[in-house]
Structure 1
Amino acid sequence: MCPKFNTVSEISRVLKTFVAYLKRPDLYPELGRKIIKNTVNRGNAFKGKEKTNSWAASKAISQKEAVSKLFGIDIDPFKNNFAEILKEAERRQNECPIKMGGAGALELIYYSCEFANAKNAVETGVAYGWSSLAALLSLEKRGGTLYSSDMPYLAQDGDQYVGYVVPENLKPHWKLFRFADKESLPKIFADSASFDVVHYDSDKSYNGRFWAYTELYKHLRTGGVFISDDIGDNSAYQDFCEKNNIDTTVVEYEGKYIGVFVK
């Protein structure tokens, strides 16, 4: 089954991305996976979506309730404590010529790191770097390190803007790996075998998620925190939790669902 393109601009974007991949031999493995994902496994992205959205809706609580329930922490001070940093990050986002994903549940990420007394955290998916910023604000207190996996934004010529909202003073605590997860994560695990916090927000396909969840879970220490964004896209997160007998909390945030649990 071949993918369908509805507009000339969409065709142009796909062609531009394909040409950019051809110029980067180190990304050929991901190019092959994308071709398969968008042809043979095209329906895989939404596998079990209806089931999981019903399941998530029945469990969902607010970010404030989740942080209180799991960590015994009130999230209200966050925005006041970091008001100037967040204001500058928003200014940076607004001036950026490339449009990427906006800020998510920052308090959940920050207080996960605080609860876990995190020194090592790993995330997949960076974009502007809002989640990176939230984690780094906690990690830098302890001289910790955030390991991030993020694919280059090939269709937008946006490489230089990945992590754009992260201030310079936090970057010494940040290691950014610019490959797909299947290439980045083994490199990250070779550098650090154990993590206090995991945050997943990259490949949205069922197979991509389930593979990454399995690998990340292996490297999350007991007592560490696991977070996954956009779990309503398909049933990978629900299936993973059920397979591993994990009692997860579900957060509803801006109309989407986030999964979080303490290992």
Structure 2
Amino acid sequence: MTEISRVLKTFVAYLKRPGLYPELGRKIIKNTVNRKSAFKGKEKTNSWAASVAVSQKEAVSRLFSMDIDDFRSQFAEILQTAVQKEKECPIKMGGPGALELIYYACEFTKAEHVLETGVAYGWSSLAALLSLEKRKGTLYSSDMPYLAQDGDQFVGCIVPDNLKKYWKLFRFADKESLPKIFAESSSFDVFHYDSDKSYNGRMWAYNEVYDRLKPGAVFISDDIGDNSAYQDFCEKNNIETTVVEYEGKYIGVFVK
């Protein structure tokens, strides 16, 4: 599929879904008027992140006083099945992230209410749900439909059926999904951000969610090297953050 045909297909798909019209307008503005601002401060933040980053194992030990070594063996069969489901998926989405960081954040907080933005195959969702299942908690997820790939039915495809009863998936952009989620839950134990990577998109979501995190809650944001939104947010709010280097990218995490 050429770039022009992909854009056209996506545009037509938006037009068929009135609930997504607000996001269509925002995307047009973001990709024209605000295009340069999406990467604001990227060089600054990558330099900072590289100077302070630690491994996922060290971060979990430092923040949660837990060891990640048992995770892969404890859930080996579930993870193996998930890998196979990803291979069988006919469309390409985002791969696994720092699963241990998410899982042990939920264990550390004894999470009952977790919020995430960005689902794709459902790797981060799976990590959270493996912990939430123990307490019959709920994962609230926000993710846009994959309009250019006809991929709606594959979002979260690796999540086992037995865990889906603890999961509520909202299929809109964050600015529409989050108010709907907040109407169901007013506070959260863990927040994992992995959706709109623009500077303005991040800042909006960070500010919306931060005040709804309980004291002691864990805040995680993927791909913080895309721009300086995460670094600026932490500096503005006097937050002491840990930076995790994972597969060549940077993740920000702190305990509120």
What corresponds to 1:229 in structure 2?
222
Which residue identity does 1:183 align to in structure 2? E
1:66-77 alignment, distance < 5 Å: 66-77=59-70
Which residue identity does 1:83 align to in structure 2? A
Aligned length: 256
2:182 corresponds to 1:189: yes
Q: Does the residue aligned with 1:199 lie in a helix, a strand or coil?
A: strand
Which residue identity does 2:186 align to in structure 1? A
Cα displacement string for residues 45-103 of structure 1 (whole angstroms, at most 9, x for unaligned residues): 11000000001111100000000000000000000000000000000000000100000
TM-score (norm 1): 0.97
Q: Does the residue aligned with 2:128 lie in a helix, a strand or coil?
A: helix
What corresponds to 1:151 in structure 2?
144
**Superposed displacement of residue 219, structure 1:** 0.8
2:109 corresponds to 1:109: no
What corresponds to 1:79 in structure 2?
72
2:205 corresponds to 1:200: no
1:40 to 33, 43, 57: 33
2:135 corresponds to 1:135: no
**Superposed displacement of residue 177, structure 1:** 0.1
**Superposed displacement of residue 44, structure 1:** 1.4
- Supply the distance in 1 between the matched residues of 2:158 and 2:182 (Cα, whole angstroms): 26
**Please, what is the CA RMSD of the aligned residues?**
0.6
Which residue identity does 1:121 align to in structure 2? V
**Superposed displacement of residue 218, structure 1:** 1.2
Which residue identity does 2:68 align to in structure 1? I
- Supply the distance in 2 between the matched residues of 1:19 and 1:45 (Cα, whole angstroms): 24
1:13 to 6, 16, 19: 6
- Supply the distance in 1 between the matched residues of 2:125 and 2:99 (Cα, whole angstroms): 9
1:47-66 alignment, distance < 5 Å: 47-66=40-59
Q: Does the residue aligned with 2:245 lie in a helix, a strand or coil?
A: strand
What corresponds to 1:4 in structure 2?
none
- Supply the distance in 2 between the matched residues of 1:134 and 1:235 (Cα, whole angstroms): 27
Q: Mind listing any 5+ residue stretches in structure 1 that lack a counterpart? A: 1-7
- Supply the distance in 1 between the matched residues of 2:40 and 2:9 (Cα, whole angstroms): 28
What corresponds to 1:3 in structure 2?
none
What corresponds to 1:91 in structure 2?
84
**Superposed displacement of residue 238, structure 1:** 0.2
Q: Mind listing any 5+ residue stretches in structure 2 that lack a counterpart? A: none
- Supply the distance in 2 between the matched residues of 1:241 and 1:223 (Cα, whole angstroms): 16
2:174 corresponds to 1:170: no
**Superposed displacement of residue 225, structure 1:** 0.2
- Supply the distance in 2 between the matched residues of 1:22 and 1:260 (Cα, whole angstroms): 37
**Superposed displacement of residue 216, structure 1:** 1.0
Cα displacement string for residues 133-154 of structure 1 (whole angstroms, at most 9, x for unaligned residues): 0000000100000000000000
- Supply the distance in 2 between the matched residues of 1:157 and 1:45 (Cα, whole angstroms): 26
Cα displacement string for residues 167-215 of structure 1 (whole angstroms, at most 9, x for unaligned residues): 0000000000000000000000010000000000000000000000001
Q: Does the residue aligned with 1:140 lie in a helix, a strand or coil?
A: helix
What corresponds to 1:25 in structure 2?
18
- Supply the distance in 2 between the matched residues of 1:196 and 1:114 (Cα, whole angstroms): 10
TM-score (norm 2): 0.99
- Supply the distance in 2 between the matched residues of 1:15 and 1:179 (Cα, whole angstroms): 20
Q: Does the residue aligned with 2:2 lie in a helix, a strand or coil?
A: helix
- Supply the distance in 2 between the matched residues of 1:190 and 1:44 (Cα, whole angstroms): 31
